[in-house]
Amino acid sequence: MSIAENLTEISSSLPQGVTLVAVSKTKPASDIQEAYDWGQRVFGENKIQEMASKYEELPKDIEWHMIGHVQTNKIKYMAPFVDMVHGCDRFKVLRELNKEAQKNHRVISCLLQVQIAKEETKFGFSKEEVIDFANSEEAQSLNNLKISGLMGMATFTDDQDQIQSEFTALQEIYKEVVDMGVFPDFSTLSMGMSGDYELAISCGSNMVRIGSSLFGARNYK
């Protein structure tokens, strides 16, 4: 099927209020343009410089999401245009992102990445770190960041019960922070990818990151 046909099928299966982030990492600008022509506007990349290159080439009303692990020394390249950063997995990233957003006279939306997977290769804050941060003075001092919600990635496994328990754990942390009422824009729970997004939505996700089901297999060199 074509990219447009894949988009039609997947977007029609998403409940109202769930945002589709089309994960375009490793894909050429022509594929993104095809999805854009269909009507998709939110795209996710996992490498800052690749995203910056595509930003220069493609329509300027695209909403770019940085979904990969963030290298702080490259934040300056995306600060002028990125709409949301999913992988805020340590305080150093938040501080640097705030600094670069300030330089560019922007307020950048970001999600706190929480470590829910039973894998050492995944990044993220613990539940305790998220709650401590929400209670901290520093959280209120990051004036050029909009703390918009949480993001998490489940363990890469076929065990659906394990994946569900990890998604449920993240939803519970999300609800706890919402109830604290410290972040006025805290409304996004980003979890679920091509293989598990339906389960993620059933566990409360309102933002899914889908790549291979839309664009086909990744073009890794």
Note the pLDDT tens digit of each residue in 191-208. 999 999 999 999 999 999
CA distances to 20, 36, 96, 97 from 73, in Å: 28, 30, 9, 10
Distance CA 91, CA 77 (A): 19
Distance CA 122, CA 112 (A): 14
For residue 63, pLDDT beyond 90? yes
For residue 219, pLDDT beyond 70? no
Exposure b/e, 3-41, CB count within 10 A at least 16 = b: beebbeebbeebeeebbbbbbbbbbeeebbbbbbebebe
Q: What is the mean pLDDT of residues 55-73?
A: 97
Q: Which of 37-46, 82-91, 115-124 has the lowest mean pLDDT?
A: 115-124
pLDDT of residue 17: 96
Which domains occur in the chain, in start order?
3-214 (3.20.20.10)
Q: Among the residues of the chain, which ranges form H helices?
A: 3-13, 29-38, 48-57, 75-78, 91-103, 127-134, 137-141, 160-180, 197-202, 212-215
* Mean pLDDT of the chain, nearest integer: 95
Q: What is the mean pLDDT of residues 98-109?
A: 98
Tokens for 72?
């702080």
pLDDT-derived band at 217, boundaries 50, 70, 90: confident
Q: What is the mean pLDDT of residues 115-128?
A: 85
pLDDT, tens digit, 9 for 90 and up, residues 148-184: 999 999 999 999 999 999 999 999 999 999 999 999 9
DSSP letters along 17-37, please?
TPEEEEE-TT--HHHHHHHHH
CA atoms 187, 192, 193, 198: torsion sign: negative
